[in-house]
Structure 1
Amino acid sequence: MLLARDLAIDIRLGNLSAANVVTLCAEAISAREADVGAFVCLDLAAAEAAAADIAPEAPLAGLPVAVKDIIDTRDLPTTYGSPLYANHRPAADAPVVRQVKRAGGVVLGKSETTEFAFLEPSRTHNPRRLTHSPGGSSSGSAAAVAAGMVPLAIGTQTGGSVIRPASYCGVTGYKPTFRTLPTIGMKTFSWHLDTMGLFGARVRDVAFFAAALTGRDLDIGTEVAVAPRIAVIRTARAAEAAPECHAALDTAARAAEQAGAHVREIDLPEALEAAHEIHPIIQDYEAFLALADEYDTARDRLSRVLAAHLDAAGQLDCETYDAARRTAKRARHHLGDLFSTYDALLTFSAPGEAPLGFSTTGSAVFNRLWTLMGTPAINVTGCSSPSGLPVGVQIVGRFGRDRAALSVAAFVERALKP
């Protein structure tokens, strides 16, 4: 994989140029894209030309970035993973794309997404093992980074669409605190849940990326937390996690403790377990409104899974939706209490290794709650299943305390890979 932060330093030192990095990406794309299928469209010539014009001192130093095809781009088509938008060319970049360009990044291409960032699998294969799913919905973004085609990529998460594919593909995925990155200009699925996310090789790479995009003090470099207080949480759904996930969680907890962390396994408070159950209500009620035009005018051109899901979503009433939002609000209060004792939570990133075949992108069962809470979450690499596929663990931080969450994630990453 390409190490974004190290590449940016080398560009600033004059050891290589941004155009050289675009060439590295082009070579990896030439070697692997036919098998992996990470991209909807590419413009390597435009990327190379843009990189040559960017000053090495720019925050992103001309590094190439893949943008999930659920996000509007002026210079490239945006299909939202649906044939309904096969010829769609937005009039403007989404703000997050403009942030990439203002920071001196280069949009190399649009990465594959599931249909409207929901469940219908894309054509992407997992670069770690081509017979397995890369996860979704940010399938192309995770796969492109894992295959060394780009050092950085942008995805989105409404349920588990950043953390889960990051785990399956063996890369770092970072879902920032809700609304840290603007979601204007992305195809909405659920406005209380949709969150921009970032992919890179290591924790320090996504932290560097986030700092460059937002101007916030998030670039942790080689910093890691000092003796963090970590709560291990398996949740009431622990039986849905495969043995390799329990083993990864145990390994990470043990490694963190040996590295000096204060680690304790706890039960999730009842209010948070209740909130887990109402995420689909909020998601589906809002999706039925967000996709109203597509559903009303072209239902027969939606995938069967999405059409059927929206059929059911249309039966939800506003009273049920409002009650679900109240449950979520109570849960956020209880989560704040939990973070008065712990610096971060350590939990599953996914229910297992990447699924064999392409009939499913996996389950978001261990991601939905943290998306609903709006808290920062990071997939940390370093563990694998008996079959050799990556198995990530997830660090969850306090709302708005992203730097602290990233520092704990870097601590666990270092403990797993000293």
Structure 2
Amino acid sequence: MEPWQLSAAEAAGRIKAGTLTAEALTRSCLERIAEREPVVKAFTYLDPLLALNSARRVDKGYEPGILHGLPFAVKDMIDTADMPTSHNSPLYEGLRQGRDAACVGVARAEGAVIIGKTDTVEFAAAGRRALTRNPHDPTRTPGGSSSGSAAAVADGMVPLAFGTQTGGSTIRPASFCGVHGMKPTHGVVNTEGAKRYSHTLDTIGWYGRTPADLRLVAQAFRFYGIDNPRALTPTGLRIALCPGPNWALAAPEAREALATAGKRLEAAGAIVEDFTLPPPFGEVTEAQLAVLYGEGRGAFLAEALTDPGRLHDDFHDRVNNFQGVSPQRMLWAYDLAAECRKLFDGFFPRFDAVLTPAAAGEAPVGRQDTGNPVFNSMWTLLHVPCIGIPCIKGPNGMPVGVQIVGPRFGDAELLDVAEAVSPVIMG
């Protein structure tokens, strides 16, 4: 097995044991990138010499961190001190902020090797699409907006990568690319240094190949309870099978994935209960859109005023309130979100996790359609942690995943459940 084929947890174990170095792992990942990047186009910036020098510095470190020696890719709307942050926008091409975003600073401090910047939908919001292709089928999207991050992990270019989620930008690409992804509880990871779209919704997330990989990053961010893992098995876990209020938009393969995941868990001894969310949740998707567009007006106002000619029409539409979001609509959305957050938290500890679709179906053909976020946006507004898990292959041989969801600040417990159920769900 080549080093690039190792999961983050496996590589961390070998580095700790002294049988693998950060430089050797980084070099192997760079070789994989050189082989596959012409097809996948995951990166907007890559400096192999910079990456190798960073790995050598890590190898010389005296106090190994939690992410010691692990190559980590960064979505190109998150600042990095030694690399440009373009936001996939002509306004910021080549921009160097000269400092790390908070999440990158934590990763570096814990020994990660920041290997490069991954392509994204413009400002992680709208406008220009990433050039990235789905590694399973280059004619299809990897999803958005964390396009390059999901594809890079799925194709073995890096073991870990940062994404973000404002609607469905972390979990949906995880489903399309067939990798694990985590959107933690809103606010537990500092978003400073990442382009703001919606302060109510923006969440830093990440990709890995296993739940153990996701846990490493959660440990680096000192999640509540993360140092007291529970060794769970599927037997006796109480899982709520929840199609959700947007079930009518699920393609047959998304329906099959949810049903298959539920059956596999039942066969492994879990208690799977059909679960319907109460009526107030039926409007949460619309509330998320109101918040998204309402807060998005201010997020792009500076760009619209200072360089209107080079700003995509999508952002002018947001600044000009093309959705007609009123103050009354915003207040309604905020109030409904607060009500439903409390209601959802109340379903625990009756359940250990809620099992629900991760995407509407397989990855669409082309780059423009990055997929419908409707099965993610509700959970983003509710601020709850979500973990995407690969499940089946769709009619075109593309990955289709599911996600498990927990209560706010139940991230550590959800990771425990993920480690128990992921091998079963994957089949």
Say which of 152, 161, 165 aligns to 1:153. Answer: 161
Structure 2 partner of 1:352: 361
Structure 2 alignment gaps of length 5 or more: none
CA distance in 2, matches of 1:125, 1:48: 26
The residue matched to 2:136 in structure 1 has which SS?
A: coil
Corresponding residue for residue 26 of structure 1: 30
Counterpart residue type for residue 327 of structure 1: L
User: Per-residue deviation at 1:298?
Assistant: 2.8
Q: Which residue of 1 aligns with 2:111?
A: 104
Whether the aligned pair in 2 keeps the contact of 1:68 and 1:110 (CA below 8 Å) is yes
| Matched AA of 1:301 | R
Q: Distance in 2 between matches of 1:401 and 1:247?
A: 28
Task: Tell me the C-alpha RMSD between the 2 structures.
Answer: 1.8
For 2:84, the equivalent position in structure 1 comes to 77
Shift of residue 32, structure 1, vs aligned partner: 0.5
* Cα contact 1:249–1:348 (8 A) shared by 2: yes
Mapping for residues 38-49 of structure 1, pairs under 5 Å: 38-49=42-53
Equivalent-residue separation in structure 1 for 2:75 and 2:393 (angstroms): 26
Q: Deviations over 1:323-375 (max 9, x none)?
A: 21011111111112222421211000000111011121111000011000110
Separation of aligned partners in 1, 2:227 and 2:182: 13
Q: How many residues align?
A: 418
Question: Match for residue 339 of structure 1?
Answer: 348
Counterpart Cα distance in 1 of 2:223 and 2:405? 22
- Structure 2 distance, partners of 1:53, 1:333, is 46
Distance 1:414 1:221, change over 3 A: farther
> In 2, distance between residues paired with 1:312 and 1:93?
32
Q: Give 1:153 shift.
A: 0.3
Report the counterpart of residue 164 of structure 1 in structure 2: 172
Per-residue deviation, residues 9-57 of structure 1 (Å, max 9, x unmatched): 0011111111111011111111001111101101221221121222483
Are positions 1:10 and 2:18 aligned together?
no
Structure 1 runs, 4 residues or longer, greater than 6 Å off: 219-222
Question: Which stretch shifts more, 280-289 or 52-61?
Answer: 52-61
- Output the CA distance in 2 between the equivalents of 1:314 and 1:27: 46
Asked if the contact 2:297–2:321 (Cα under 8 Å) also holds between the matched residues in 1, the reply is: no
Distance in 2, Cα, partners of 1:391 & 1:374:
24
* Cα pair distance change 1:225/1:194, threshold 3 Å: farther
Question: Distance between the aligned counterparts of 2:390 and 2:364, measured in 1?
Answer: 18
- Structure 1 residue ranges without an equivalent (≥5): none
Alignment of 1:98-247 (within 5 A): 98-120=105-127, 121-214=129-222, 217-218=225-226, 223-225=231-233, 227-247=236-256
Residue 251 (str. 1) matches residue 260 (str. 2): yes
TM-score, normalization by structure 1:
0.96
SS class of match (1:83): coil
Q: Give the deviation of 1:222 after TM superposition.
A: 9.6
Aligned residue for 2:96, secondary structure, equals coil
- C-alpha distance in 2 between matches for 1:42 and 1:148: 16
User: Does structure 2 retain, via aligned residues, the 8 Å contact 1:204–1:219?
Assistant: no
Q: Deviations over 1:361-415 (max 9, x none)?
A: 1110000110001100010013211221100001001110111111222222121
C-alpha distance in structure 1 between counterparts of 2:392 and 2:413, whole Å: 22
One-letter amino acid of the structure 2 residue matched with residue 255 of structure 1: R
Residue identity opposite 1:261 in structure 2: A
C-alpha distance 416-316 of structure 1, shift in aligned 2 (>3 A): closer
| Letter of the 1:373 counterpart | L
Match of 1:59 among 66, 77, 102: 66
Contact 1:210 1:219 in 2 (8 A): no
Q: Report the counterpart of residue 270 of structure 1 in structure 2.
A: 279
The alignment partner of 1:312 has SS state of coil
Question: SS of the residue aligned with 1:57?
Answer: coil
* Matched residue, 1:299: 308
Instruction: Report if aligned partners of 1:211, 1:217 keep a CA contact under 8 Å in 2.
Output: no
Q: Which has the larger displacement, 281-290 or 222-231?
A: 222-231
Report the counterpart of residue 324 of structure 1 in structure 2.
333
Query: Is the Cα–Cα contact under 8 Å of residues 276 and 368 in structure 1 kept in the other structure?
Result: yes
Secondary structure in structure 2 of the residue aligned to 1:214: coil
Residues 287 and 73 of structure 1, relative CA distance in 2, 3 Å threshold: same
Cα drift, residue 261 of structure 1: 1.1
Aligned partner of 1:308 among 317, 321, 324 = 317
Q: Which segment is superposed worse, 168-177 or 89-98?
A: 89-98
Partner letter of residue 214 of structure 1? Answer: R
Q: Which residue of 2 aligns with 1:36?
A: 40
Tell me how far apart the structure 2 counterparts of residues 265 and 391 of structure 1 sit (CA, whole Å): 21
Q: Secondary structure at the match of 1:197?
A: strand
Letter in 2 for 1:379: G
How far residue 204 of structure 1 moved from its aligned partner, in angstroms, is 1.2
User: For the Cα contact (< 8 Å) 2:223–2:412, is it kept in 1?
Assistant: no
Aligned residue type for 1:325 = Y
Per the normalisation by structure 2, the TM-score is 0.94
In the alignment, the residues of structure 2 paired with residue 85 and residue 245 of structure 1 have an alpha-carbon distance, to the nearest angstrom, of 37
State the alpha-carbon separation in 1 of the partners of residues 73 and 223 from structure 2.
20
Q: Deviations over 1:135-169 (max 9, x none)?
A: 00000100110111100000100000000001001
Instruction: Quote how far apart the aligned CAs of 1:118 are.
Output: 1.2
Give 1:180 shift: 1.4
